[in-house]
Structure 1
């Protein structure tokens, strides 16, 4: 009886994993080029305007800025999560040095983290957040944008 249970358990596990792979498990790792056709919106940071791509699905967030060879200085990617949580990012298959701004619901930058390309070093928010804005590394520092300052734009209006 025990070998039958074990075989059923293994078959169930294999079927479950196979069913989950199309939801993003293998897709992001097989991503050959950058995702460039995400929805866009404008954000404000101090006196500066940022054009961001919005990554809101699990797969879009997983792919992020992977395989991008360059990005204009006024552009970035806004990662949108369903609920606030401690968010951690790493840079596997990401070619650009980036800075992540971990952002609260009201647009307040909670903390900033410089991230080296092509590493699996983890960079986390210091408290639960729903948004993470990635920009070219050094953009926030050059513009004098620091933790505690607020971003403006549709996601943060009225919060």
Structure 2
């Protein structure tokens, strides 16, 4: 998930404050969240359209939480992170408290995949020890799916993503 230095500091402070919370309250915060409503999404590649149902993270708090705490992600599911404005190439996602390995595709304003990374779970309890995964190119959205999903389907940089319900991104050529 994308974090600025300010958000990283807030998160680190929040983790320190969490140690002061009563155990039942802390357990409720850390519990696996219920899946949100989903939207259909299609990735158009040489292998044909690949369809997913995605949860959409549009608010700062939804993007910060992401897929943290999930023990699994069904095969044809994912999470789409949408941003109000273009994100710089150096903005990165990380895997703090994320339990499952993920692939991430960064998507530009035209709906084209501009970068793909595989992100293993971070096993550290210290957020500062978790690596980050920058896009390396400007992007407007990011799509997280199970690790290996893109490679298994031949999805690559340059392929396009469409979200019909949001009237967003590119259409199949």
Deviation at 1:117, TM superposition (A): 0.3
- Higher relative contact order structure (alpha carbons within 8 Å, sequence separation ≥ 6): 2
- Tell whether 2:72 aligns with 1:74: no
Compute the displacement of 1:129 (Å): 0.9
Name the SS of the counterpart of 1:113 in structure 2. strand
Distance 1:146 1:157, change over 3 A: closer
Provide the TM-score with structure 2 as the length reference.
Answer: 0.71
- Matched residues in 1 for 2:170 and 2:113: separation? 15
Q: Which residue of 1 aligns with 2:118?
A: 114
* Aligned-partner Cα distance in 2 for 1:102–1:96: 19
TM-aligned CA deviation for residue 44 of structure 1: 0.4
Rg larger for:
1
Q: 1:35, 1:64 within 8 Å by CA — same for their partners in 2?
A: no
User: Are 1:26 and 2:24 counterparts?
Assistant: no
Q: Can you give the 5+ residue segments of structure 2 that lack an aligned partner in the other structure?
A: 1-9, 19-25, 124-129
Alignment correspondent of 1:41? 39
Post-superposition CA distance 1:42-71 (Å, at most 9, x none): 110132111000011111100000000011
**Structure 1: how far apart are the matches of 2:157 and 2:81?**
18
TM-score by length of 1: 0.77
Q: Distance in 1 between matches of 2:83 and 2:32?
A: 20
Displacement of 1:127 after TM fit?
Answer: 1.6
Aligned-partner Cα distance in 2 for 1:26–1:56: 21
Q: Describe the SS at the equivalent of 2:62.
A: helix
Counterpart CA distance in 2 for 1:157 and 1:139 is 20
- 3-state SS in 2 of match to 1:60: helix
Unaligned runs of 5+ in 1: 1-20
What is the CA-CA distance between 1:157 and the residue it aligns to? Answer: 5.3
